[in-house]
Structure 1
Amino acid sequence: METDCSTPDTAAPETAAPAPLPAGTRLLHIGPHKTGTTAIQGALFAAKDAMAERGVAFPARTRHPMEAALAVCALPGMMGDTEPTEGHWQRLTELVRATGPRTSVISSEFFADAPDDETIARIAEDLGPGRVHVLITLRPLARIMPSQWQQYVQNGLRMGYEDWLDHMLRKAPYEKPNPSFWRRHRHDRLVERWARVVGPGNTTVVVVDDRDRDGLMRIFETLLGLPAGLLAPVPDTANRSLTLAETEMLRRLNMEFRGNGLPDELYSKLVRNGAVMHMKNACRPAADDARIVTPVWALEAAAGIGAEMAGRIAAMGVRLLGDPALLSALPPAVSGDADPDGPSDEPRIAPEVAAQALYGALAVAAEVPVRPAAGRTVHQTPSGELVRVLGHRALRRLRRK
């Protein structure tokens, strides 16, 4: 990967509690992905009435205004989901303007995907000229990479983890198969883009410490002038990460799905919002389930990039909260008995997990008849043909609804 070997002077991060933002600020949390965004969004949405009583608005009708963020960034929706439109963004900005002089907070990790300075400037202008303060939350790449890979798999990726790491870390220009990864997670450039438009004084960077589970909640409370403890985690099994076996099952299903030429809308309905969602809600991973293990070479590469990013961010003049050294810290196992090549055993999905995933898909496609060709029973019909028949008929039924 392209690296910047310069060693600029760095400023020490703030160690004391940050000062609250001025009343009337539009606090814009842009993620990026896999840095605690879902937990914060859930806590803010659950506390929106209590925040309103204290002069802080949460101007969105849902926990995460994803379509609005995607629309203003001119990005497509998740595979097979509703296409974002300008109307989504306009409705969010109308809600923000309706908050008047009150402080407000908006959070979506998809703002981190803004493609250029013009888009960032438009976001800041539409949310309130001179009132936007950008908050960026960061975690070490070593923790982000496995989470981001399995999330890409949930949106149709068919590439295995180590092959994906090889492409992201070793194969220039590091844009395939997911060009969004480094757009989001080359964190120094992400901070630089937003600070260049809104100003370093209107940019706060928080290095999340995973050892302090509620630390990010407390920072949001302080910046918004809210009492400690007002924001609390909201249980959300649907947001849990997949195990290695679950991810591998889904990845291989993706290969079959693509190979049979089924439409994206069916993937959204039957797989992501059917099989995967039900599996997450119904199954709790066991302590001995195989984890997604990052090989040592990739961890060391990520730590080197993290150190470089931390140095550049500290020299930008933005407010920096937390310990930037965490961005280059290696997991403890690397210095111990970690397998340098990752896991060797083939991950096996538990029968109950597979059954719950299948049930989730069937529940969505309920009452769709499957009629094989004349003269053949269902069991005599090739699986690919059965999948195509079920898929196309389910799609027609969904469209009629």
Structure 2
Amino acid sequence: METDCTSGDAAVNTQLPKGTRLLHIGPHKTGTTSIQGALFGAREKLPAYGVEFPATSRHPMQAVQAACSCGGMIGDSAPTERHWRQLVEQVAATGRRTAVVSSEFFADAPDDATAARVVEQLGGDRVHVLVTLRPLARIMPSQWQQYVQNGLRMGYEDWLEHMLRKAPYEKPNPSFWRRHRHDRLVERWVRVAGADRVTVVVVDDRDREGLMRTFETLLGLPAGLLRPVPDTANRSLTLAETEMLRNLNREFRGNGLPDELYSKLIRNGAVMHMKNACSPSSQDVRIPTPGWAVEAAAGIGAEMAERIAGTGVRVIGDPALLSAAPKPSAAPAAEARMAPEVAAQALYGALAAVAAVPDRPATRGVHQTSSRELVKVLGHRCLRRLGRR
């Protein structure tokens, strides 16, 4: 294993050959959104240095979901092969320039054959795979609340029990260990691309812009070209916000409402507006991870770091960080509560999603309809209106 341990502004002599297809596969919660935003924000400056960011959006999520057969988010339209073919064509059009493709959903590739197809269609031996990693103990609370944003109803400690203590560790989210058993993730892509065309970057959370400086070095860009782009829509939820949404998920599922309605009203309505309109304060309680889970995650991290070392890939950063055990979160001194203004913004976001179309009179009186049936009727009616919009 070739290791470059860096910190701060230390230079790393790791520039990739011109014409490389740099394939950043995440996984989730390892700085992917920050990098994608910075690359997209600098896309007009990159060609001056022989680099292109060929995607037409910050994150070509649908294209990658189609390529990796991992489906879309709950209630969203299914990604198609057309999305993937478009991205492949955009990469091919960059010619001899270096092209960067970044999506954490590449980490969801279910097998070697899928990963091999991705590498071959994006450029074959011109592809260099980049894996960004963070300590598992820091990933788990963030990943849990993300699953809640996609409909999960299980509480955090119960979810940790399932992920860490209940074999085969696949319920309720089988994607978690496919993404975050990082040693197996690296091994999968090494089998496809070869160890000499895979680089692992260990993200140091103490250096907020260190990952951007690493990308600049890999791509031969001047220091400081990639800058953070504020993205409130991607912030993590607080404990109170997540618990509010988790309880809403229970009601939603319990009443049998359609997934499409969840996508439009909840995830892309209430939650999205709440995240954009409200920023957590120092008084908001973050999601606390119990000590036993932190220790278990640190142990798994140490095992993963050892196995990654055995693959022969180049590692940038300090592999010891992967087994770091951050101080366990203390239990909240008081019950986590969501501020009234935050709740109001969430409610407004849902209402705004269906406000444009007036009601039609029902053929049967409301008083003649059971509450459960009424909820279903209203849900489907809202969905039809959103479709017409």
Query: TM-score by structure 2 length?
Result: 0.95
RMSD over aligned Cα atoms: 1.8
Report the equivalent of 2:388. Answer: 400
Report the equivalent of 1:350. Answer: 339
| Aligned with 2:237 (options 225, 238, 242) | 242
Contact 1:370 1:386 in 2 (8 A): no
Report deviation, 1:375: 6.8
**Residue 352 (structure 2) pairs with residue 359 (structure 1):** no
| Aligned with 2:72 (options 66, 72, 77) | 77
Report the equivalent of 1:253. Answer: 248
Q: What are the Cα deviations for residues 53-103 of structure 1, in whole angstroms up to 9, with x where unaligned?
A: 221011111100001111011121000112111111100000011111110
Report deviation, 1:312: 1.0
SS across alignment from 1:48: coil
**Which whole-Å CA distance do the structure 1 matches of 2:189 and 2:99 have between them?**
19
Report deviation, 1:311: 1.0
SS across alignment from 1:130: helix
Report the equivalent of 1:369. Answer: 359
**Residue 169 (structure 2) pairs with residue 178 (structure 1):** no
**Which whole-Å CA distance do the structure 2 matches of 1:316 and 1:375 have between them?**
65
Question: For residues 387 and 347 of structure 1, do their structure 2 counterparts lie closer, same or farther at Cα, with a shift above 3 Å needed?
Answer: farther
Equivalent AA in structure 2 for residue 119 of structure 1:
T
**Which whole-Å CA distance do the structure 1 matches of 2:135 and 2:350 have between them?**
35
Gaps of 5+ in 2: none
Report the equivalent of 1:6. Answer: none
Report deviation, 1:330: 1.3
Question: For residues 311 and 216 of structure 1, do their structure 2 counterparts lie closer, same or farther at Cα, with a shift above 3 Å needed?
Answer: same
Report the equivalent of 1:104. Answer: 99
Question: For residues 185 and 289 of structure 1, do their structure 2 counterparts lie closer, same or farther at Cα, with a shift above 3 Å needed?
Answer: same
SS across alignment from 2:274: helix
Equivalent AA in structure 1 for residue 365 of structure 2:
A
**Which whole-Å CA distance do the structure 2 matches of 1:360 and 1:42 have between them?**
24
| Aligned with 1:284 (options 279, 299, 302) | 279
Report deviation, 1:387: 3.6
Q: What are the Cα deviations for residues 275-321 of structure 1, in whole angstroms up to 9, with x where unaligned?
A: 00000011111211111000000000000000111111112110100
Contact 2:136 2:180 in 1 (8 A): yes
SS across alignment from 2:71: coil
**Which whole-Å CA distance do the structure 1 matches of 2:380 and 2:44 have between them?**
44
Report deviation, 1:254: 0.4
**Which whole-Å CA distance do the structure 2 matches of 1:325 and 1:156 have between them?**
34
**Residue 191 (structure 2) pairs with residue 191 (structure 1):** no
Report the equivalent of 2:325. Answer: 330
**Residue 190 (structure 2) pairs with residue 200 (structure 1):** no
Equivalent AA in structure 1 for residue 353 of structure 2:
V
Report deviation, 1:399: 2.3
Gaps of 5+ in 1: 1-9
Contact 2:2 2:313 in 1 (8 A): no
Question: For residues 199 and 161 of structure 1, do their structure 2 counterparts lie closer, same or farther at Cα, with a shift above 3 Å needed?
Answer: same
- 1:268-283, aligned counterparts within 5 Å? 268-283=263-278
Report deviation, 1:382: 7.4
Contact 1:13 1:324 in 2 (8 A): no
Question: For residues 12 and 135 of structure 1, do their structure 2 counterparts lie closer, same or farther at Cα, with a shift above 3 Å needed?
Answer: closer
**Which whole-Å CA distance do the structure 2 matches of 1:343 and 1:163 have between them?**
18
Contact 2:4 2:12 in 1 (8 A): no
Q: What are the Cα deviations for residues 338-391 of structure 1, in whole angstroms up to 9, with x where unaligned?
A: 54xx447432221111111000000001135286763749xxx87655543331
Report deviation, 1:13: 4.1
**Residue 226 (structure 2) pairs with residue 231 (structure 1):** yes
SS across alignment from 1:53: helix
**Which whole-Å CA distance do the structure 2 matches of 1:252 and 1:384 have between them?**
17
Which range moves more in the overlay, 252-261 or 10-19?
Answer: 10-19
Question: For residues 79 and 375 of structure 1, do their structure 2 counterparts lie closer, same or farther at Cα, with a shift above 3 Å needed?
Answer: closer
Q: What are the Cα deviations for residues 202-238 of structure 1, in whole angstroms up to 9, with x where unaligned?
A: 0000000000000000000000011110100001111
Report the equivalent of 1:7. Answer: none
Which range moves more in the overlay, 138-147 or 361-370?
Answer: 361-370
**Which whole-Å CA distance do the structure 1 matches of 2:88 and 2:113 have between them?**
17
- 1:140-151, aligned counterparts within 5 Å? 140-151=135-146
Question: For residues 165 and 370 of structure 1, do their structure 2 counterparts lie closer, same or farther at Cα, with a shift above 3 Å needed?
Answer: farther
Contact 1:370 1:390 in 2 (8 A): no
Report deviation, 1:198: 0.1
Q: What are the Cα deviations for residues 104-124 of structure 1, in whole angstroms up to 9, with x where unaligned?
A: 100000000111111111111
Report the equivalent of 2:123. Answer: 128
Contact 2:241 2:338 in 1 (8 A): yes
Aligned residues: 383
